[in-house]
Amino acid sequence: MALPVCVVDAFAEKPFTGNPAAVVFLDEPRDDAWRQSVAAEFNLSETAFVEPGKDGYRLRWFTPAVEVPLCGHGTLAAAHALWESGRLSPSSPARFETKSGTLTARRDGEWIAMDLPSLPVRPAKPPLGLMKALADTPMAFCENEGVYLIEMDSEETVRRSAPNLDAWSALTRKGLILTAQSRRAAYDFVSRCFFPADGIAEDPVTGSAHCALGPYWAERLKKPVLTAYQASKRGGVLLIRPKEGRVEVGGRALTVWRGSLC
């Protein structure tokens, strides 16, 4: 039986921007090998698998190489697809049971606001040799369980940076977040994100990274609400509201194609 599937550009202002995610609606459980094969076939940063649960929906995310425990843009895409397809009333919040606990999303005008776990970083010392993967000297080096967050001296440095991902991957499986305060009035900070260990060289727009970036810049800038721009080739805008133990991450989404999976 064919399964409905769509591709949604998440954190996108117009088609072919933001971060595309495939959303597959499952009618029954499928094994992990099948899910991984589907994600490899789509070859997008993430493929989200949505299936009915006891209190909402179950949601899992796969890159072309591995399953990940948290994905912001895949969650945004899944919520958008549920509302647009009529599976969920536009007035009802989307509720997902995931490997990162319960995540919710609600519509806020043209935006979708997601409630995600806070993943704050702490100052750290770079592992021996890791800085050789970067051409620039960081202003601050921090980490959490999954990523190294590196603050650079300017937005221009973040935008032109070309990290050696082969060298990076040889020393760590953690992702790399480069960030700087923005000099543009429209944004508080910019970032770029790289996850070579997950099969993603540069991720276009990364909701989960802002679970770390939000608390970091809220403290640095003393602002309760921040506007962020992920400066990849496709690019995307995010609205960030850090809360106690959580981060609300907002963005827009639009469907670019629909079809079925045989």
Q: Which residues are catalytic?
A: 46
Residue in 3, 5, 6 with CA at minimum distance from that of residue 256 = 6
Question: How many Å separate Cα 121 from the centre of its chain?
Answer: 16
CA distance 158 to 161: 5
Residues whose CB falls within 8 Å of the CB of residue 8, separated by 6 or more in sequence, listed in order: 20, 21, 23, 76, 77, 80, 81, 253, 254, 255, 256
- Phi/psi at 172 (5° precision): -155, 155
Cα–Cα distances in angstroms (integers) from residue 86 to residues 33, 39, 58, 249, in the given order: 29, 24, 17, 23
CA distance 141 to 3: 44
Element (H, E) at 249: strand 246-251
Structure-block tokens of residue 155: 């937005």
Task: Decide the pairing of beta strands 101-108 and 111-117.
Answer: antiparallel
